[in-house]
Amino acid sequence: MKSTWFFLVYSCCMAVSCLTAAPQTNITTDKYALLALKARITSDPHNLILTNWSITTPVCNWVGVACGKHHHRVTALNLSYFGLEGTILHS
């Protein structure tokens, strides 16, 4: 259920960034949305996200992230195997 929860949170982040951000969103927007999500992770047993989701590598190369072939946008997240935990705080 944790991964489902993270997916929902991610969907909300994307929805918010679409509504509030610049008229144009792109792969960079996606990257920062995911980095914001990463910043909330308090437990990453395999240390995968914390080491792999590096700002210096393309978001499409990150583990658990799937990008569209043509649109160069993040299309799916699969974090179900990472055993992540975290909290989302309202700011």
Residues in touch with ligand NAG (CB under 6 A): 22, 24, 26-28, 51-52, 54, 57, 61, 63, 78, 80-81
The Cα-based distances of 38 to 9, 32, 62 in angstroms read 12, 9, 12
Residue 81 C-beta: closest distance to ligand NAG, Å = 5
Give the residue with the Cβ less far from ligand NAG, 19 or 89. Answer: 19
Residue 87 C-beta: closest distance to ligand NAG, Å = 23
Residue 89 C-beta: closest distance to ligand NAG, Å = 26
Maximum CA extent, the chain: 37
Give the residue with the Cβ less far from ligand NAG, 21 or 87. Answer: 21
Q: Tell how strand 85-86 and strand 41-43 pair up.
A: antiparallel
